[in-house]
Amino acid sequence: MKKRILIITDLAVFPANAGNKTRVWAMMNNLQRLGHEVWFLGLGLREEEVAALKAIWGEHVHNLPALRARHARPRWFALKRFLTDRLIARGIGAPDVDHWYWPHWDSAIADFASRHAFDAVMVEYVFFSRALQHFGKDVCKIIDTHDVYTGRREKLKARKIKRFYQYLTRANEEARGLNRADVVIGIQENESKFFRQLLGPAKCVITVGHTVDPQTVPYPATADILFLGSPYSANVDGVTYFIEKCFPRIRVAVPGARLLIAGSICRVLRPGMAGIELLGEMDDVKDAYARAAVVINPVLAGTGLKTKTIEALAFGCPLVSTSCGAEGLQDAAGSAFRLADDPADFAEGVIDLLTMPERATAYARNAVKFIEQWNSDQLKALNRVISTNHEKNDTDSDRLDLPPEFAAQIGDLCPSPGG
């Protein structure tokens, strides 16, 4: 049955030139493929960003105008957000789940909800889950989580990444936000298991991975290696690790090898080694993948399903990834891509694919086959989300408690600034 579904996000999803943007863009297109009418509500997007999306998606695109912090009400919220942001950037504390949600959005969303009827509303990221409270019980409320945010700092500190500014929160706050939804989407099964343990058996949690339509690119007659990513600290750490530990070995074996780095990560990188080229941000990532003889994902920390890994497989590119970079996709390791965690093994994997075209071609062929089946499985899972009888999953949206066994196990992994 055709349903009217609203997507709420602070992301300008078109052009989809970053991992989180491609996730939301794919979600919108997949819902449309399933026969639903998809609306979009942006949170504070710029006029040109809204115009670009409207040109592609049509008149079902809406936006709540941005508001400068000094004009926000109540004023104390803006001050609290400013000070908390500075603490987070210095590795101190973790904010509550509504930290990134501006209070002035409440009245605007409530007004929007009163003027338009929806069968389901999907919020991107738990940090904007407060928006769900403005829709009635007859509306199925969904959170597309993207990542687990409890204990995120600890995972990065394990790699000695001390200074970073990314979304994170505490276990009880993540649970509070997720409990505002009838259905929680985990982006890969390990994270769905975490959410089930965090929220208890009554909550409906369904895994829906990221999808990318297969669009193979010709195999280039070069020795170019591609890394594509954002300036997320785990990406910077991963590509730095590759440059320092793996790339010199590769250049010895394949003197003509070059490392191409694409995406917004180029803003923060200043590599001082020969054979490295910064491509910058690209409106169409296909242009970057078309230049790659081998794609790498050397990240050693982080959460979620790595969009860059899915993209490389969908473009039919030979890929070498760490276990962290391939989390949620391990079943395809060894056939659709090479898995390597040791620097020497990682370098050897890249060298093999650069010097053995027939092996690289076999990986690329298997990658496309894997993605075709993967995409089909994710569409089926997404259909389950939309078909869920949310009235059977009704929970108290303000519940703050955790299942006792889970609370005892982890406590508050990231103490608050005042705690």
| Res. 249: pLDDT tops 80 | yes
Question: DSSP letter at 65?
Answer: P
Question: Do residues 15 and 283 lie in contact, with contact meaning Cβ atoms separated by under 8 Å?
Answer: yes
The 10s digit of each residue's pLDDT in 10-37 is 999 988 777 889 899 999 999 999 999 9
Task: Check whether 405 has a pLDDT greater than 70.
Answer: no
pLDDT computed for residue 406 by the predictor: 45
pLDDT above 50 (res 128): yes
- Looking at the predicted structure, is the pLDDT value of residue 415 above 50? no
Distance of CA 329 to the CA centre of its chain: 15
DSSP state of 38: E
Q: Once rounded to an integer, what is the mean pLDDT over residues 312-330?
A: 94
Question: 395: pLDDT confidence band, cut at 50, 70 and 90?
Answer: very low
- Arithmetic mean of pLDDT, 344-361: 96
Contact (CB, 8 A) for 223 and 257: yes
Question: From CA 178, how far away is CA 142, in angstroms rounded?
Answer: 9
% of the chain exceeding 90 in pLDDT: 68
pLDDT band at 111 (very low <50, low <70, confident <90, very high): very high
pTM: 0.85
Select the more confidently predicted residue: 294 or 166: 294
Work out whether strand 120-124 and strand 4-9 pair parallel, antiparallel, or are unpaired.
parallel
Give the model confidence (pLDDT) of 181-212 as tens digits.
999 999 999 999 999 999 999 999 999 999 99
Q: Give 412's pLDDT tier (boundaries 50, 70, 90).
A: very low
User: What are the residue boundaries of the structural domains of the chain, listed by start?
Assistant: 4-207+389-410, 224-373
| Max avg pLDDT among 74-78, 101-105, 120-124, 226-230 | 120-124
Q: Which CATH superfamily is domain 4-207+389-410 in?
A: Glycogen Phosphorylase B; (3.40.50.2000)
Beta strands in 201-337 (DSSP E): 204-207, 224-228, 258-262, 276-280, 294-297, 319-321
Q: What is the pLDDT of residue 359?
A: 95
Rounded to whole angstroms, how far apart are CA atoms 189 and 142?
17
pLDDT, position 166:
66
Place of tokens 């500190």: 157
Class level of CATH domain 224-373: alpha beta
What mean pLDDT comes out for the span 63-86? 77
pLDDT of residue 409: 39
Identical fold for domains 4-207+389-410 and 224-373, yes or no, is yes
Q: Is the pLDDT of residue 388 over 50?
A: yes
d(CA 298, CA 321) in angstroms, rounded, equals: 6
* pLDDT for residue 401 is more than 80: no
Extended beta strands in 79-148, E state = 120-124, 140-144
Separation between Cα atoms, residue 72 and residue 140, nearest integer Å: 30
